[in-house]
Amino acid sequence: AQRVTQPEKLLSVFKGAPVELKCNYSYSGSPELFWYVQYSRQRLQLLLRHISRESIKGFTADLNKGETSFHLKKPFAQEEDSAMYYCALSYTGTASKLTFGTGTRLQVTL
Amino acid sequence: KAGVTQTPRYLIKTRGQQVTLSCSPISGHRSVSWYQQTPGQGLQFLFEYFSETQRNKGNFPGRFSGRQFSNSRSEMNVSTLELGDSALYLCASSLPRTGGNTIYFGEGSWLTVV
């Protein structure tokens, strides 16, 4: 069965510091990986997906199949990045069935 | 365009009762999925409907059921409520593509079972 692991419940960084939110997954096939974000009092929304290979709000994530990881990175944290971040996985044919990690709360302080 | 709309937003039910939650997807979206979010278990997939048919199902007991109407609106029902069913229930909609589709979530329905 597929599983997504986010080892950190809380990550606290200073403004301007680099950010790395860790995500590891277990799945034997070819998964599709996502990062979702939930800002305070807002709905869960897609931040980025691995197939797009794009940078959103300065965040990037690279799928490393060898290490089964999909870590989210940003070189310089901003206050507005403070939010709950969820890594999620789906597999071919079940794009709407997401397996989520437990989430990491990112706290950016001055 | 309007986002995914869920009603009611908040409700309190008594153990043993049943509850029905409603979800209106984004216009044009034909796939609707439901998730349960709790502090202990996190976000867990309940089921997905497409064209009025259940396409995928998570590991939840039969007390959890759902349906989708011809206009793509969906309802989920939980019968014989238990205290552990207290959770945020999220609905999400998407276009029916198997790859690269974006799933849009609603704000959720907060269910408290007392």
User: pLDDT tens, B45-91?
Assistant: 999 999 999 988 999 999 999 999 999 999 999 999 999 999 999 99
Which residues of chain B lie closer than 8 angstroms to A46, CB-CB? 102-104
CB contact under 8 A, A96 and B56: yes
> pLDDT means per 10 residues in chain A (110 residues)?
92 97 89 92 91 85 91 97 95 76 96
Contact A98 B45 (CB under 8 A): yes
- CA of A60 to nearest chain B CA: how many angstroms apart? 17
Q: What is the pLDDT of residues B81-99, one digit of tens each?
A: 999 999 999 999 988 655 5
> Count of CB contacts below 8 A, A vs B?
61
The beta-carbon contacts of B98-102 under 8 Å, at least 24 apart in sequence, are B98/A92, B98/A93, B98/A95, B99/A32, B99/A51, B99/A92, B99/A95, B100/A49, B100/A51, B100/A52, B100/A95, B101/A95, B101/A96, B101/B31, B102/A46
